[in-house]
Amino acid sequence: MKDILDKILIKEIVAPILIIFFSIIIYKIIKNIVTKTFSLKLNKTNAKKQETLIGIINNIIKYFIMIIALIMILNVFGIDTKTLITSLGVVGLVAGLAVQDLLKDIISGVSIIFENQFYVGDTIEVNGFKGEVIHLGIKTTKLKSYTGEIKIISNRNITEVINYSLSNSLAVVNFQVSYEDNTEKVEKVLKNLCTQLTKQLDNIKGEVQLLGVTKLNDSGVDYRITVETLPLKHFEIEREILKQVKLELEKNNITIPYPQVVIHNE
């Protein structure tokens, strides 16, 4: 009786545990191999694309190992997996209809990768939700907004995408100076500032440019400064340029106008 119990203990308890344990070990080994293989090609491939592809491949490997481990465990318990697989083939059409949405997600995920629509780390907008791609899997994509919300979208529902990370951005800074200030003096001061900013600012591409007078307003003269920046860096560059413009205008006694109301007493 004891021998029978020992055999049952080894076969139906220890064996499944060992299968699960070795499956985890094998997955981690293959995962490390995949990661190192892509790391060797770091200079040849887009880094974001590498990270995304590694995630997709690791997911596929994980599910494959899980299926193999499940079949092995079923064999341990005496279930005829060959008959089971044959039965699955008979009901394959029904199963296909049941998982057609999953298949659409997988096909859409692969299409997103190979069409270079977006990668992990890109900032995109889908169905009105804008955020950073923090996960791109074979079934879903996760976006994180700048305020912290995370939206999980099925890949099949991603039909139109606005990708803010594909190309450089443009920082545009508009400001006014008073009509009383000499135009030539103002432009000389601003051109010198643009030269300094070109040397000082990070995350810009090319030179900071003064476009000159853009409009004559009721209260002052409008000027515009622009510079091309790395993707999505235009907001911080605009803030820094505005700060430096104000400091430079104050330093040179150039007035920044503001709305005034004149009241006449009769």
For the record, the structure tokens of 191 come out as 């051109």
| Residue tagged 């491939």 (tokens) | 45
DSSP designation for 251: H
Q: How confident is the model at residue 211 (pLDDT cuts 50, 70, 90)?
A: very high
Mean pLDDT of the chain: 81
What Å distances lie between residue 128 and 68, 131, 159, CA to CA? 41, 10, 12
In angstroms, the CA 106 to CA 93 distance is 18
Selection from 188, 67, 165 nearest residue 116 by Cα = 165
Q: 102-148: per-residue pLDDT in tens? A: 778 878 887 887 777 888 888 999 989 999 999 887 788 999 998 99
For residue 252, pLDDT over 90 is answered with yes
> In the chain, what are the helix, strand and coil shares in percent, each to the nearest 5?
50, 20, 25
Q: Using alpha carbons only, how large is the chain's radius of gyration in Å? A: 31
Q: Are 95 and 22 in contact (CB under 8 A)?
A: no
Q: Is 249 helix (H, G, I), strand (E, B) or coil?
A: helix
- How many residues in the chain? 266
For residue 43, pLDDT over 60 is answered with no
- Which residues, in sequence order, are CB contacts of 142 under 8 Å at separation 6+? 133, 134, 135, 136, 150, 151, 152, 153
pTM value? 0.57
Quote the pLDDT of residue 44.
Answer: 45
Sheet holding 169-177, edge to edge: 169-177, 221-229, 204-216
Handedness of CA 62, 65, 71, 77 (dihedral sign): negative
Q: Tell me the residue type at 127.
A: N
Q: 60-106: per-residue pLDDT in tens? A: 788 788 888 888 887 777 776 666 566 555 555 455 555 677 778 87
Alpha helices in 178-233 (DSSP H): 183-200
Question: Which is more confidently placed, 31 or 251?
Answer: 251
In angstroms, the CA 98 to CA 36 distance is 37
**Which domains are present in the chain?**
2-90 (1.10.287.1260), 108-163 (2.30.30.60), 169-251 (3.30.70.100)
For residue 9, pLDDT over 60 is answered with no
For the record, the structure tokens of 91 come out as 């009901």
